[in-house]
Structure 1
Amino acid sequence: MDRRKVCVLMVLWAVAHLSFPGYGLRALRQDANGVPLRRSKRGWMWNQFFLLEEYTGTDMQYVGKLHSDGDRGDGSVRYVLTGEGAGTLFKIDEKSGDIHATKRLDREEKAYYILHAKAVNQFTNEALEGESEFIIKIHDINDNEPRFTKDPYMASVPEMSDVGTSVIQVTAIDADDATYGNSARVVYSILEGQPYFSVDPETGLIKTALPGMDREVKEHYQVVIQAKDMAGQMGGLSGTTTVSITLSDVNDNPPRFTKTLYEFRVPESNELGSSVGAIRAMDADIGPNAEMDYRIIGSDGPGMFDVTTNRSTQEGVILLRKPLDFEKKRQYSLRIQVENSHINPHFYSSGPFRDEATIKIVVEDVDEPPLFERASYIMEVKEDAARNTIVGSVSASDPDDKRSPVRYTIDRRTDMDRVFNIHAGNGSVFTLRDLDREESAWHNISVIATEFNNPRLMSRVPVYIRVLDVNDNAPTFATNYETFVCENAKANQRIQTVSATDPDEPLGGHRFTFSLAPEAAGKANFSVRDNKDNTAWILTRRSSYNSLQKSVYHVPVVISDGEYPMQSSTSTLTIRVCTCDREGNMKLCNPEALTARVGLSTGALVAILLCVIILLIIVVLFAALRRQRKKEPLIISKEDVRDNVVSYNDEGGGEEDTQAFDIGTLRNPEAIEDSKQRRDIIPETFYPPVRRPVLPPSRDNNGDVRDFINQRLQENDSDPTAPPYDSLATYAYEGNGSVAESLSSLESVTTEGDQDYNYLSEWGPRFKKLADMYGGDDSDRDS
């Protein structure tokens, strides 16, 4: 018989004895009186049933049997089963009470089932026994292999780690029952990864097993771990997992140059701060352990070069710090050292952890522009220097070996007035015109030097030319002095302090002297006292001045400087004579003196007076134009009446008024020029002037008026040159002295004698004609 069948028989036997204890041995007990105790027998008694999982038989698996003492075998008892899986997983024979499992059960899915059983009367359905609870436990078998919690595992360990360094712990879980047998007891073992790593069989902890594992030799490892149940015995189930182990880097390698000698070629025209070249050392480490620093430990050109580290590429970049000159030095040699930025003391102590290399830098020649000897030039020249005087010279040379000749010119943008010029060959700067220090004390020009062979190569240098002072200006009064003297002034009284100015600038400063002009010394009313401090006092030489006798004095003052050649000039001081009070305060002056006191010059007063006069003229013209515009015409008409209107608005004295119209003209019409033409109309040439007959004078008193009117009417009627433009004389008022007396009807009423109005009735139609010509209405005609 195999082991599995033996186990099944043992379980069945145990189930039978546990299910029906009444069939077992009974222990008799007695009470206190010695009477044997008897236990009443229950209908059935059980604790639990056991059932093997994963049953593989063809028939249903038998679980157990229920039986009641009330069952007499006549078929009157019916067994009922309820609870978990009743009717589906477990079936009971209602007559016999046998229980069977209908399916294969898995303990890992459900380890036990709780059911309830009772016996009832088949016919009355009454319960013969109380309901009882029992458990069906699924007995475990080793049907699950161990399973790891991860697959794969990822781990890392520093390179060069000691043997036994922990790497990672793996864990496998077995679903079988750990409380029964060895089905869930797991043992770990390593299948792949030896001899580098080992695993603890009980805990699954993986450790290093080989010393000196180098990441630079091998970085990644694949380790296979097995977990087997049944304590690793034969027949146990097993599972595997893969552990990927990476050796992490440590700084155990120094940087190393690939070459011991590097060579770079650089033009001498390279700018400062530019890169000359780059070098790189190799380091087998990675990350921060591969970071390195470069530095110069030796050079035959101190301070010429520098080296920095490019952190992104870990290169050493050589930079130019001073200008190169092919003609001075054509080659440089450097010693550069490289070292890790992060030092591992453990490995550093074992030996040098740095490297060195030699750098050779060759300077290449470049065609350079001329080079001036100085960065700037300062020259001096006196302001009285003649034209073409040499001020100074500049010098430039070709720094290249070929030594090309140099040509000099002046940048005319810095000398637009062409004050200076330069010799193209030797660089001598000379003047082109006269200088004046007072006009410009400094001249800043720029000189350009170019090569004859290559004019595009040029350089500039600033030249500052200072014009030296020459005593060529005479001193004068510092301001326009005008002062006054009181009539009651006393002798030797100071009335003014004067000072002088000079545009020249002597080295020792100005030293002015003041004196009275020799031509005025004999008859001087004032004296000049030099204070020896570039000022002088004007003093009176006598007492009491009279403004009526002389109101203005002119004092000539000679001012000299102390330079060579000495310059002097005569300045005139104007002194007004004024009336003052006892304290010397001015009370009254003539207009000129008053002008001087208020501080206005004669020219300023003349300008003010001219402005006032011009303003007055403008105001008068404006008033006249406004008055002319507002004057109403004597005759207002819609037509353009171009007449000569003579208006007498004021009553005059008749013939006695010499300003009035000459009545004699009316009395003597012969005096009128026969060929007189109208002044307001130019006659045409093809209309010859018409001579009109002169009417004889009338005999009556008013004949001269009638004759005059008649003559004018004939002239207008016979004039073909123009429309009827007449010359109308209006007599609005008649004076008492008129021989024609008054034509007014008002005055005729008051007259004692009769007035002859025949001439009015005679000439009425003609007046009507004149009124029609001028477009008058009926009232105008009547008047």
Structure 2
Amino acid sequence: MPERLTETLMDLWTPLIILWITLPSCVYTAPMNQAHVLTTGSPLELSRQSEDMRILSRSKRGWVWNQMFVLEEFSGPEPILVGRLHTDLDPGSKKIKYILSGDGAGTIFQINDITGDIHAIKRLDREEKAEYTLTAQAVDFETNKPLEPPSEFIIKVQDINDNAPEFLNGPYHATVPEMSILGTSVTNVTATDADDPVYGNSAKLVYSILEGQPYFSIEPETAIIKTALPNMDREAKEEYLVVIQAKDMGGHSGGLSGTTTLTVTLTDVNDNPPKFAQSLYHFSVPEDVVLGTAIGRVKANDQDIGENAQSSYDIIDGDGTALFEITSDAQAQDGVIRLRKPLDFETKKSYTLKVEAANIHIDPRFSSRGPFKDTATVKIVVEDADEPPVFSSPTYLLEVHENAALNSVIGQVTARDPDITSSPIRFSIDRHTDLERQFNINADDGKITLATPLDRELSVWHNITIIATEIRNHSQISRVPVAIKVLDVNDNAPEFASEYEAFLCENGKPGQVIQTVSAMDKDDPKNGHFFLYSLLPEMVNNPNFTIKKNEDNSLSILAKHNGFNRQKQEVYLLPIVISDSGNPPLSSTSTLTIRVCGCSNDGVVQSCNVEAYVLPIGLSMGALIAILACIILLLVIVVLFVTLRRHKNEPLIIKDDEDVRENIIRYDDEGGGEEDTEAFDIATLQNPDGINGFLPHYQRGFLRGIPENAA
């Protein structure tokens, strides 16, 4: 305790002793044309300095300035004497008055206007203001007239160690990778001291670690913090709290100190491999599970975090590699096993897989530790499920001849229940695919029969759907498409491909082809169509025409002679027999109409009617048709015009028989008996213009006899 008190007293008095020693060295001589002296120091020294100034003033007048100092934070029972103003113009008669102005004059610093003593009347803080600039002046005590020009001087506040170091940016946070080598830089901190860094050691700081060893160290002068232990493991401890101290006075005893905290977090590196939580996993799955369904999840734990813990999963072995797949879930960091192909409990009841988890991001610094992967075994048990019937084929193709008998069997479908406890199956036709109900099916054995006649020429294909339903569980059904192709039979005789009409020129030549015809057959034989053409037996020796079969399955009709005369015979009818190559073959007779026509010298048909006149040379058939069309159009216009005029006059016609009789009776005209009666035509009255626009003279006269005012 006495030692601690001694150190405290030494710390307090050391600045004062230094100040006392250094004050005389601060005196300097101003220009010699001044006549004032500024002194500072203790009262005894001030008295001696005053006497010395008198000796100096005898030779030359002038100011002598001392640098004034005042110790900060000084507090006592009385104001502290800072210095004294004195001039050699003062004979001691107290006729001179000293005036002080400037920073803090009158509030912080006070002067005795008679003696010139300057006192600090307040406690000063260098950190608040380090120096004050004041102005001194000597004036006549009675008249206040300046005796000398004013002059400035500075009072400096001398520093003491009254401020502790501060960490303005604390507390601090820093990170460093785990497994870092010894001496890896973590961060640096900085403390500030408000004391004067120029004067003494009050602001000289030294750093040290109070808490956080032996993990971290700090450089005393630069405050750089480094790792003090190598290979610190984040998985063992992730966060460290370091307490740092900054001490002034160069770290010596008696100095002030400040502390802060630094939180150091170890960041992760990939220094740990994944590890499955268990070596064997068991999963169960129904055999009817939908493809792509998740069967189960496996997880390999990794002590690392973030991307260093990411692993990829793969199936590397086992008897179910073709049926199952595994994918990585980046969020959950596990592997999801999914179904790729359908399962069949009756075929195989369990599978074994070997799965692997491997780190994605490998740190080469730790690759020597071994493979960053792990394996586990997965056993999958297939559970039996009530499955729908299974058809023997995914699709069926049936063929039936179009002349098949009704109720004949055209094909059969089969299905079975794949479950161990097999259920009987019933078959039916989806009537939405057989709206005309052309087919039936035996519900027990799946035989498809014909219900209505078929016609290949109307429809070649029929597509229906067969339904198989379990008897024990009607919700278990399956469907299969059945395509039925109708096969052709020779049930259609050939005939002309179109309505042919041939034209024969009167001036034609023997052997000239009059017309080429072709045939068609609605049937579709496998080897294509081949037609036979012939004339009727009674027409074989036809003196006028003959036929010739062409290679393209067509027929040409030729004239046997020339000199045909349309006035003698205008039209010839030639029956032709057409037979197909079917088994048995079918045939039909088609008649070709041949018209004898007048032709030009170059063989262009001009007229085929006996009454028709010969067309002018160069007038084509198209032009003739256009002329006829114009004539017909004119006739139509004339008929419409006459009809409209008749409708316009109809309101004036008397159509009521009773009205006509009234008019006849009302007029007392004398007639000629039966002759007038017979001469009267009621139809003529109803149509005054007559049938052909002509009336007999007596009828017109009769009508003229009707008064104009007759109703």
Measured against the shorter chain, the TM-score band is 0.7 to 0.9
Corresponding residue for residue 645 of structure 1? 663
Corresponding residue for residue 310 of structure 1? 329
Count of matched residue positions in the alignment of Structure 1 and Structure 2: 645
CA deviation after TM superposition for structure 1 residue 656, in Å: 11
Secondary structure of the corresponding residue to residue 87 of structure 2: coil
CA deviation after TM superposition for structure 1 residue 348, in Å: 2.1
CA deviation after TM superposition for structure 1 residue 622, in Å: 5.4
CA deviation after TM superposition for structure 1 residue 584, in Å: 2.2
Corresponding residue for residue 258 of structure 2? 239
Corresponding residue for residue 183 of structure 1? 202
Corresponding residue for residue 79 of structure 2? 60
CA deviation after TM superposition for structure 1 residue 41, in Å: 2.8
CA deviation after TM superposition for structure 1 residue 323, in Å: 0.7
Query: In 2, are the aligned partners of 1:148 and 1:171 still within 8 Å (CA)?
Result: yes
Distance 1:393 1:165, change over 3 A: same
Corresponding residue for residue 360 of structure 2? 341
Corresponding residue for residue 437 of structure 1? 456
AA in 2 matched with 1:102: I
Q: Within 5 A, what are the aligned runs for 1:214-613?
A: 214-590=233-609
Instruction: Give the superposed CA RMSD.
Output: 3.7
Cα deviations across residues 736-761 of structure 1 (Å, max 9, x unaligned)? xxxxxxx9xxxxxxxxxxxxxxxxxx
CA deviation after TM superposition for structure 1 residue 42, in Å: 2.7
Distance 1:8 1:564, change over 3 A: closer
Q: Greater CA radius of gyration, 1 or 2?
A: 1
CA deviation after TM superposition for structure 1 residue 329, in Å: 0.8
Q: Within 5 A, what are the aligned runs for 1:96-175?
A: 96-175=115-194
Q: Point out where structure 2 has 5 or more consecutive residues left out of the alignment.
A: 1-5, 28-37, 41-45, 614-619, 623-631, 681-700
Cα deviations across residues 662-696 of structure 1 (Å, max 9, x unaligned)? 99xxxxxxxxxxxxxxxxxxxxxxxxxxxxxxxxx
Secondary structure of the corresponding residue to residue 202 of structure 1: coil
CA deviation after TM superposition for structure 1 residue 101, in Å: 0.8
Secondary structure of the corresponding residue to residue 138 of structure 2: strand
Instruction: Provide the C-alpha distance between the structure 1 equivalents of 2:152 and 2:209, rounded to a whole number of angstroms.
Output: 49
CA deviation after TM superposition for structure 1 residue 285, in Å: 1.0
Cα deviations across residues 267-309 of structure 1 (Å, max 9, x unaligned)? 1111111111111111111111111111111020231111111
Corresponding residue for residue 695 of structure 1? none
CA deviation after TM superposition for structure 1 residue 627, in Å: 1.6
CA deviation after TM superposition for structure 1 residue 124, in Å: 3.4
Q: Which of 651, 655, 675 does residue 629 from structure 1 map onto?
A: 651
Instruction: Provide the C-alpha distance between the structure 1 equivalents of 2:14 and 2:190, rounded to a whole number of angstroms.
Output: 35
CA deviation after TM superposition for structure 1 residue 151, in Å: 2.0
Q: Which of 216, 219, 222 does residue 200 from structure 1 map onto?
A: 219
Cα deviations across residues 215-262 of structure 1 (Å, max 9, x unaligned)? 111111111111111111121111111111111111111111111000
AA in 1 matched with 2:214: P
Distance 1:6 1:67, change over 3 A: farther
Query: In 2, are the aligned partners of 1:47 and 1:135 still within 8 Å (CA)?
Result: no
Instruction: Provide the C-alpha distance between the structure 1 equivalents of 2:184 and 2:611, rounded to a whole number of angstroms.
Output: 121
Secondary structure of the corresponding residue to residue 231 of structure 1: helix
Query: In 2, are the aligned partners of 1:647 and 1:731 still within 8 Å (CA)?
Result: no
Instruction: Provide the C-alpha distance between the structure 2 equivalents of 1:456 and 1:56, rounded to a whole number of angstroms.
Output: 105
Distance 1:598 1:53, change over 3 A: same
Query: In 2, are the aligned partners of 1:406 and 1:449 still within 8 Å (CA)?
Result: yes
Distance 1:419 1:734, change over 3 A: closer
Q: Point out where structure 1 has 5 or more consecutive residues left out of the alignment.
A: 28-36, 600-609, 634-639, 664-729, 736-742, 744-770, 776-783
Instruction: Provide the C-alpha distance between the structure 1 equivalents of 2:242 and 2:283, rounded to a whole number of angstroms.
Output: 51
CA deviation after TM superposition for structure 1 residue 142, in Å: 1.0
Query: In 2, are the aligned partners of 1:561 and 1:568 still within 8 Å (CA)?
Result: yes
Q: Within 5 A, what are the aligned runs for 1:4-19?
A: 4=12, 8=16, 11=19, 15=23, 18=27, 19=38
Identity of aligned residues (%): 50
Distance 1:647 1:494, change over 3 A: farther
Cα deviations across residues 43-71 of structure 1 (Å, max 9, x unaligned)? 44113111111112110101111111111
CA deviation after TM superposition for structure 1 residue 372, in Å: 0.9
Cα deviations across residues 618-638 of structure 1 (Å, max 9, x unaligned)? 8766543422214699xxxxx
CA deviation after TM superposition for structure 1 residue 535, in Å: 1.1
Secondary structure of the corresponding residue to residue 347 of structure 1: helix
Cα deviations across residues 298-337 of structure 1 (Å, max 9, x unaligned)? 0202311111111111110011111111111110110001
- Give TM-score, length-normalised by structure 1: 0.76
Q: Within 5 A, what are the aligned runs for 1:738-749?
A: none
Secondary structure of the corresponding residue to residue 289 of structure 1: helix
Instruction: Provide the C-alpha distance between the structure 2 equivalents of 1:734 and 1:465, rounded to a whole number of angstroms.
Output: 89
Distance 1:213 1:405, change over 3 A: same
Query: In 2, are the aligned partners of 1:43 and 1:67 still within 8 Å (CA)?
Result: no
Instruction: Provide the C-alpha distance between the structure 2 equivalents of 1:292 and 1:734, rounded to a whole number of angstroms.
Output: 127
Cα deviations across residues 82-124 of structure 1 (Å, max 9, x unaligned)? 2211111111111111111110111111111111212122233
CA deviation after TM superposition for structure 1 residue 612, in Å: 12
Instruction: Provide the C-alpha distance between the structure 2 equivalents of 1:611 and 1:41, rounded to a whole number of angstroms.
Output: 153
Compare 419-428 and 610-619 and name the one that shifted more: 610-619
Distance 1:423 1:617, change over 3 A: farther
Query: In 2, are the aligned partners of 1:43 and 1:129 still within 8 Å (CA)?
Result: no
Instruction: Provide the C-alpha distance between the structure 2 equivalents of 1:654 and 1:642, rounded to a whole number of angstroms.
Output: 17
Compare 355-364 and 191-200 and name the one that shifted more: 191-200
Cα deviations across residues 405-455 of structure 1 (Å, max 9, x unaligned)? 222222222222222222222222221232221122121111111122222
CA deviation after TM superposition for structure 1 residue 585, in Å: 2.0
Corresponding residue for residue 687 of structure 1? none
Secondary structure of the corresponding residue to residue 86 of structure 2: coil
Instruction: Provide the C-alpha distance between the structure 1 equivalents of 2:102 and 2:551, rounded to a whole number of angstroms.
Output: 143
Distance 1:329 1:525, change over 3 A: same
Query: In 1, are the aligned partners of 2:654 and 2:660 still within 8 Å (CA)?
Result: no
Q: Within 5 A, what are the aligned runs for 1:76-87?
A: 76-87=95-106
Instruction: Provide the C-alpha distance between the structure 2 equivalents of 1:625 and 1:316, rounded to a whole number of angstroms.
Output: 97
Secondary structure of the corresponding residue to residue 308 of structure 2: helix
Query: In 2, are the aligned partners of 1:113 and 1:135 still within 8 Å (CA)?
Result: yes
Distance 1:598 1:449, change over 3 A: farther
AA in 1 matched with 2:298: I
Corresponding residue for residue 68 of structure 2? 49
Distance 1:427 1:59, change over 3 A: same
Instruction: Provide the C-alpha distance between the structure 1 equivalents of 2:51 and 2:100, rounded to a whole number of angstroms.
Output: 29
Instruction: Provide the C-alpha distance between the structure 2 equivalents of 1:14 and 1:422, rounded to a whole number of angstroms.
Output: 130
Instruction: Provide the C-alpha distance between the structure 1 equivalents of 2:400 and 2:567, rounded to a whole number of angstroms.
Output: 58
